[in-house]
């Protein structure tokens, strides 16, 4: 759970689990476009793509990714002998990758299975063929949409209706620009002239992803066939994007009504997250409660979602999670993650009331009292509360420090004096 709270997933069970699955049924054929490419784009291409090739590795083009050497980056049919796989599972060839944290076990298993199955990489996605140049008429129409030039928009559609379906820079379409810059009526006009609601640009972004701030635009695109579970190159879905926007509950409700995957995971500053964790991160209690009511996996997201709700002081998020999670162990872990200096002092007392262990330790052997005393901003009342509840004031961390050791680093403060009166020593 600690690794999950930090946005890092363990991988120790990959080999064992895959062995059981293989004994029961033939391995599932891995699809490069929908299963492998999103993982590479989300986690690898920034450092190993067209703009940068760290250590000489490039993973956005097939011919470079399959390049040989002492050990191939990707050796079709041999994951164990592929540098890519070895970099994901350990540090035998340098630091484990990606640098943002170990990939979830399921993603590593997908990469391994794909390589072992022959690492099929379709020609259309090889990256060796340059995308078609932007259509000049589409670019002109998109400029008019962005500028709000309705007369020009109307005249261009009247004289050349097919321009609505053409592509501009980066594979973007006029419909995408309308979703971002214009009104729903502009979108309706483009759709009536042949615009494709499902089209994605070169980064896998669809018009629906741009439209989610607007309920009306979102509804129109879904009505015209937009895919509510489309994924951009970096792994985002319309629901993941919407759940990260304050006040988005109506749009989130619509997406869920139309079949959006509530368990979809996407990138964030703290690792792969679900819509539930996104809502907690921005402190949107209404969206958070809606997601829980619709079946979001509170057990998996528990410590991250509850901890973020504490940090953002989202009362609705916290109340919903506390009602859904009646597990003292999770309360304890959340307390150690969300209490000062990482979160508000309110979290500590609230979680103790729900069964958190007051003398629990974090991976470095620190108690919540030590963590609190390490913060200059911790309220004296919180330390008083912990002492009154019987916390061990002389407990030592793995490094041999006590709460008093941490407190004295800030000088002879009221907290130092309080600890000494309670019998604390270094």
Burial label, 99 (beta-carbon count in 10 A; 0-12, 13-18, 19+): exposed
pLDDT tens for residues 242-301? 999 999 999 999 999 999 999 988 877 666 789 999 998 889 999 999 999 999 887 777
pTM listed for this prediction: 0.64
Q: Could you tell me what percent of the chain has a pLDDT over 70?
A: 85
Q: Which residues contact 59 (CB under 8 A, 6 or more apart)?
A: 40, 44, 45, 48, 49, 65, 73, 84
Whether 254 and 219 have beta carbons less than 8 Å apart is answered as yes
- Which structure tokens are listed for 354? 């729900």
- Phi, psi for 206 (deg, rounded to 5): -110, 165
Query: Where does the pLDDT of residue 336 fall: very low under 50, low under 70, confident under 90, or very high at 90 and above?
Result: confident
Q: Considering Cα of 356, then 414, then 425, then 399, what sign does the dihedral take?
A: positive
Q: What is the pLDDT of residues 117-158, one digit of tens each?
A: 998 988 777 666 667 899 999 999 999 999 999 999 999 999
pLDDT tens for 29-62 read 999 988 998 888 888 887 887 777 777 778 888 8
Q: In terms of Cα–Cα distance, which of 90, 99, 104, 92 is closest to 38?
A: 104
pLDDT of residue 22: 41
Long-range contacts of 48-56 (CB under 8 A, 24+ apart): 55/94
List of residues 6+ apart from 379 with CB closer than 8 A: 345
In which residue are the tokens 């002081």 written?
Answer: 313
CA dihedral 112, 21, 13, 9 (to 10 degrees): 70
Both tokens assigned to 103: 């990939």
User: Would you say residue 201 has pLDDT above 50?
Assistant: yes
Rounded to whole angstroms, what are the CA distances from 171 to 17, 59, 180, 240? 40, 21, 15, 22
pLDDT of residue 289: 92
HEC profile of the chain? CHHHHCCCCCCCCHHHHHHHHHHHCCCCCCCHHHHHHHHHHHHCCCCECCCCEHHHCCCCCHHHHCCCCCCCCCCCCCCCCCHHHHHHHCCCCCCCCCCCCCCCHHHHHHHHHHHHCCCCCCHHHCCCCCCCCCCHHHHHHHHHHHHCCHHHHHHHHHHCHHHHHCCCHHHCCHHHHHHHHCCHHHHHHHHHCCCCCCCECCCCCEHHHHHCCCHHHHHHHHHCCCCCCCCCCCCCCHHHHHHCCCCCHHHHHHHHHCCCCCCCCECCCCCCECHHHHHHHHCCHHHHHHHHHCCCCHHHHHHHHHHHHHHCCCHHHHHHHHHHCCCHHHHHHHHHHHCCCCCCCHHHHHHHHCCCCCCCCCCCCCCHHHHHHCCCCCCHHHHHHHHHCCCCCCCCCCCCCCHHHHHHCCCCCHHHHHHHHCCCCC
Residue 4 confidence (pLDDT): 32
| Higher pLDDT, residue 50 or 166 | 166
Euclidean distance between CA atoms 35 and 37, whole angstroms = 6
Set out the domains of the chain in order of their start, with CATH numbers.
Answer: 2-123 (no CATH), 131-227 (1.25.40.20), 229-325 (1.25.40.20), 326-421 (1.25.40.20)
More confident residue, 344 or 100: 100
Residues 6+ apart with CB under 8 A from 385: 348, 349
């Amino acid at each position: 759970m600690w690794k999950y709270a930090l946005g890092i997933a363990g991988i120790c069970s990959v080999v064992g689990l895959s062995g059981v699955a293989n004994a029961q049924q033939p391995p599932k054929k891995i699809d490069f476009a929908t299963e492998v490419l999103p993982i590479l784009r989300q986690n690898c291409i920034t450092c190993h793509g067209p703009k940068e090739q760290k250590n000489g590795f490039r993973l956005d083009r097939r011919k470079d990714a399959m390049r040989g050497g002492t050990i191939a980056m990707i050796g079709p049919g041999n994951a164990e002998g592929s540098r890519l796989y070895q970099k994901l599972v350990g540090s035998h060839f340098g630091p484990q990758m990606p640098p943002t944290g170990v990939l979830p076990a399921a993603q590593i298993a997908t990469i391994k299975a794909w390589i072992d199955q022959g690492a099929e990489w379709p020609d259309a996605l090889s990256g060796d063929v340059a995308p078609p140049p932007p259509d000049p008429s589409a670019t002109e129409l998109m400029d008019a949409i962005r500028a709000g030039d309705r007369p020009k928009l109307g005249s261009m559609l009247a004289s050349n209706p097919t321009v609505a379906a053409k592509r501009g820079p980066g594979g973007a379409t006029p419909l995408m620009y309308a979703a971002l810059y214009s009104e729903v009526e502009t979108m309706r006009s483009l759709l009536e002239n042949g615009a494709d609601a499902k089209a994605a640009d070169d980064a896998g972004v669809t018009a629906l992803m741009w439209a989610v701030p607007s309920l009306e635009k979102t509804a129109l695109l879904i009505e015209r066939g937009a895919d509510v579970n489309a994924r951009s190159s970096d792994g985002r879905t319309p629901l993941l994007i919407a759940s990260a926007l304050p006040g988005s509950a109506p749009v989130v409700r619509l997406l869920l009504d139309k079949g959006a995957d509530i368990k979809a995971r996407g990138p964030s500053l703290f690792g792969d997250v679900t819509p539930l964790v996104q809502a907690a991160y921005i402190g949107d209690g209404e969206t958070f409660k809606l997601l829980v009511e619709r079946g979001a996996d509170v057990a998996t997201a528990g410590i991250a979602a509850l901890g973020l709700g504490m940090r953002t002081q989202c009362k609705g998020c916290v109340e919903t999670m506390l009602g859904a999670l009646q597990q003292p162990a999770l309360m304890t872990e959340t307390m150690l993650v969300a209490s000062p200096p990482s979160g508000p002092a309110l979290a500590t007392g609230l979680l103790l009331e729900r069964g958190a262990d007051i003398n629990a330790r974090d991976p470095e052997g620190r108690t919540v009292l030590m963590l609190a005393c390490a913060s200059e901003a911790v309220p004296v009342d919180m330390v008083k509360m912990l002492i009154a509840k019987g916390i061990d004031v002389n407990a030592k961390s793995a490094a041999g420090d006590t709460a008093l050791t941490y407190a004295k680093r800030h000088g002879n403060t009221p907290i130092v004096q309080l600890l000494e009166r309670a019998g604390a020593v270094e």
